[in-house]
């Protein structure tokens, strides 16, 4: 392994104490709503963080949003889940004996995440900086399963209770050969899995279209583009580019409504130079070729239309945001209004409440998979209210659902801040 790769197999975030009970209650509510947009069976995908360098950042929001867009139920696991594992202390002691060139605490976190995943019964795991760029299908997971990918092991993998235990025990009792990194003996959960794929995995699967926005990937991007760029911005812009390529995005505004500022700053569109920069990076990058079909050939492949007329919808292709407000003059033409009512329950029709910029930003984020730099704002003339109740109901449900998912991060942040209550209670019987 080259030195560059050391330590990028596992990223840990903050969150020493997390009020999981609250998170669980909030999350269980999502499923019980007969909401407009709920995927019938959202598969859970887990990531893991521990408090290493402060609170969780934008990359985790991107992770939540992009996995949600792909039909998953994204959940954060923390140290508290790991600690709830039976024999936690024995395992940590055993892991602590394995040599590493990394900070020990960081390395331990990488081992501990498998205990956390096992505590919740196993399932699909992803590093929080791995984002899906296309449809992702999860293989069947039974108790013996421990499945991963040559490209992503172990940062994206699937494990059942016995499969994970096999891996955990293998690491905890390891006494085989130890490779050297920087002239020092070094082991990690990645080294141990990658060196023993055949014996540990039940399946080595063909890779799904994921991209790992690691530090290394960002450094490659910076080197290639010549632009300083934060990894979060690189990831956010890439996610948005892919979303605007895969869907025909329409922003519907009735006459009389105007966007304040540049729509591009609010996620409706991207600048050509930025898209060119990203395309030329992805054309030559060593990042997995499975994302290639989702990268635009050129700027022209991105589709954003701002209009006041409802488009001819192709399901799965069109994504229509439309602006409304209870006190807004109903100036949509009749056909558009009829179409909005007809399509309101469809996942491709997304209402935006004109005078709630913060909620709009959240809704756009959960549908375009990015974090906007500027909240979007509209001006509009007041007038008689149209039939807005239906729109409002859907918008509120969406906002509530997205806030609950994002809320996982707020709980972690509050705990890290050390202010207020942060009593973690074991959510598992």
Please, what is the minimum distance in Å from the beta carbon of residue 146 to ligand NAG? 8
Residue 289, token pair as written in the block: 């070729």
Please, what is the minimum distance in Å from the beta carbon of residue 213 to ligand NAG? 28
The b-or-e profile of 95-125 (16+ CB within 10 A means b, else e) is beebebbbeeebbbbbbbbbbbbbbbebbbb
- How many CA atoms within 13 Å lie on the side-chain side of 191? 24
CA distance 209 to 195: 24
Please, what is the minimum distance in Å from the beta carbon of residue 147 to ligand NAG? 5
DSSP state of 290: G
Please, what is the minimum distance in Å from the beta carbon of residue 157 to ligand NAG? 11
φ and ψ of 318, to 5 deg? -90, 145
Q: Quick one: 162 or 356, whose CB is closer to ligand NAG?
A: 162
Please, what is the minimum distance in Å from the beta carbon of residue 82 to ligand NAG? 24
Q: Which residues pair with 248 in a beta bridge?
A: 318
DSSP state of 426: -
CA distance 364 to 228: 26
Sign of CA dihedral 395, 401, 405, 410: positive
Please, what is the minimum distance in Å from the beta carbon of residue 171 to ligand NAG? 20
Q: Quick one: 162 or 406, whose CB is closer to ligand NAG?
A: 162
Q: Quick one: 147 or 325, whose CB is closer to ligand NAG?
A: 147
Q: Quick one: 145 or 336, whose CB is closer to ligand NAG?
A: 145
Q: Quick one: 168 or 352, whose CB is closer to ligand NAG?
A: 168
Q: Quick one: 166 or 248, whose CB is closer to ligand NAG?
A: 166
Q: Identify the three-state secondary structure at position 184.
A: strand
For the chain, how many residues are written? 429
Q: Quick one: 142 or 423, whose CB is closer to ligand NAG?
A: 142
Q: Quick one: 46 or 146, whose CB is closer to ligand NAG?
A: 146
Q: Which residues pair with 259 in a beta bridge?
A: 378
Residue showing tokens 């920087």? 182
- DSSP letters spanning 151-217: TTTTTEEEE-HHHHHHHHHHHHT--S---EETTEE---HHHHHHTTHHHH-SEEPPPPSEEE--HHH
Q: Quick one: 201 or 257, whose CB is closer to ligand NAG?
A: 201
Please, what is the minimum distance in Å from the beta carbon of residue 39 to ligand NAG? 23
Q: Quick one: 141 or 192, whose CB is closer to ligand NAG?
A: 141
Please, what is the minimum distance in Å from the beta carbon of residue 49 to ligand NAG? 27
Q: Quick one: 198 or 286, whose CB is closer to ligand NAG?
A: 198
CA distance 106 to 52: 7
The residue of the chain with the least Cβ separation from ligand NAG equals 145
CA distance 139 to 401: 26
Residues found near ligand NAG in the complex (CB under 6 A): 142, 144-145, 147, 202-203
Please, what is the minimum distance in Å from the beta carbon of residue 287 to ligand NAG? 26
Strands 203-204 and 180-181 come out as: unpaired
Q: Which residues pair with 131 in a beta bridge?
A: 211
DSSP state of 319: E
Q: Which residues pair with 323 in a beta bridge?
A: 352
φ and ψ of 47, to 5 deg? -125, 175
Please, what is the minimum distance in Å from the beta carbon of residue 94 to ligand NAG? 26
Q: Is the peptide bond before 276 cis (omega within 30 degrees of 0)?
A: no
Please, what is the minimum distance in Å from the beta carbon of residue 166 to ligand NAG? 12
CA distance 112 to 90: 12
Q: How far is CA 380 from CA 79, 205, 304, 353, in A?
A: 48, 52, 22, 12
DSSP H or E run through 352: strand 349-353
């Amino acid at each position: 392994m080259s030195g560059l790769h050391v330590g990028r197999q596992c990223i840990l975030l903050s969150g020493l104490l997390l009020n999981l009970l609250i998170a669980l209650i909030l999350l269980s509510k999502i499923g019980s709503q007969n909401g407009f947009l709920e995927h019938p069976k959202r598969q859970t995908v887990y990531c893991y963080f521990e408090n290493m360098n402060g609170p969780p950042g934008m990359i985790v929001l991107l992770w939540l949003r992009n996995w949600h867009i792909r039909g998953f139920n994204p959940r954060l696991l923390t140290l508290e889940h790991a600690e709830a594992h039976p024999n936690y202390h024995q395992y940590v002691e055993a892991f602590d004996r394995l040599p590493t060139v990394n900070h020990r605490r960081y390395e331990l976190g990488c081992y501990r995440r498998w205990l956390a995943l096992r505590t919740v019964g196993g399932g699909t795991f992803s590093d929080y900086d791995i984002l899906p760029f296309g449809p992702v299908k999860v293989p069947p997971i039974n108790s013996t399963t421990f499945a991963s990918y040559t490209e992503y092991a172990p940062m994206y993998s699937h494990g059942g209770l016995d499969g994970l235990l096999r891996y955990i025990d293998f690491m905890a009792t390891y006494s085989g050969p130890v490779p050297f990194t920087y002239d020092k003996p070094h082991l990690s959960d990645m080294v141990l899995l990658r060196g023993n794929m055949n014996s540990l995995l039940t399946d080595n699967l063909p890779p799904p279209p994921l991209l790992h926005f690691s530090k290394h990937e960002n450094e490659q991007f910076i080197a290639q583009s010549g632009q300083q760029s934060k990894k979060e911005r690189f990831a956010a812009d890439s996610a948005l580019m892919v979303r605007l390529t895969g869907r025909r995005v329409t922003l519907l505004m009735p006459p009389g409504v105007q966007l304040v500022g540049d729509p591009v700053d609010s996620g409706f569109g991207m600048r050509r130079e930025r898209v060119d920069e990203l395309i030329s990076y992805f054309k030559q990058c060593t990042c997995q070729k499975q994302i290639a079909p989702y990268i635009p050939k050129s700027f022209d492949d991105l589709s954003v239309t701002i209009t006041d007329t409802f488009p001819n919808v192709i399901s799965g292709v069109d994504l229509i945001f439309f602006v409304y407000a209870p006190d807004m003059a109903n100036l949509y033409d009749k056909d558009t209004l009829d179409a909005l009512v007809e399509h309101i329950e469809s996942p491709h029709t997304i209402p935006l409440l004109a005078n709630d910029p913060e909620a709009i930003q959240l809704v756009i984020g959960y549908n375009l998979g990015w974090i906007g730099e500027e909240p979007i704002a509209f001006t509009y003339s007041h007038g008689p209210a149209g039939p807005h109740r239906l729109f409002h109901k859907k918008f509120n449900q969406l906002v509530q659902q997205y806030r609950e998912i994002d809320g996982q991060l707020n709980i972690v942040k509050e705990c890290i801040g050390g202010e207020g209550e942060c009593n973690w209670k074991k959510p598992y019987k």
